[in-house]
């Protein structure tokens, strides 16, 4: 039996530096946005359409959106 990485695990491994940068940007954004603006951003990210992009780009975008929502939606 082989262990296969999930698309999210592959996106993380292939884009570790980009995800570190995103983490720092999200920390700054988290500290500076609140109220209605925060709610609007969460809603827009939740409904972001990834149709029509490559599978690799979709995996990365999905992981970035997931992390952004986790950071903002608390």
**Cα–Cα distance measured from residue 69 to residue 60, given in angstroms and rounded to the nearest whole number:** 14
Over the stretch 1-10, which tens digit does the pLDDT of each residue have?
556 777 667 7
Structure tokens at 31: 């500290």
pLDDT tens digits for 33-51?
A: 888 999 999 999 999 999 9
Can you tell me the distance from the alpha carbon of 36 to that of 42, in angstroms, rounded to the nearest whole number? 10
> Domain segments of the chain: what residues?
7-72
What crossing angle do the helices spanning 55-72 and 7-14 adopt, rounded to 10°? 90
Which pLDDT value is given to residue 8? 65
What angle separates helix 55-72 from helix 16-32, to the nearest 10 degrees? 30
Task: Name the nearest CA neighbour of 61 among 28, 42, 21, 51.
Answer: 51
- In terms of pLDDT, which residue wins out, 74 or 36? 36
């Amino acid at each position: 039996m082989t262990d296969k990485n999930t698309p999210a695990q592959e996106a993380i491994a292939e884009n570790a530096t980009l995800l570190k940068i995103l983490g720092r940007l999200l920390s700054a954004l988290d500290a500076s946005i609140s109220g209605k603006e925060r709610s609007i951003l969460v809603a827009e990210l939740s409904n972001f359409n990834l149709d029509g992009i490559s599978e690799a780009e979709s995996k990365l975008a999905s992981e970035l959106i997931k992390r952004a929502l986790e950071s903002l939606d608390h």
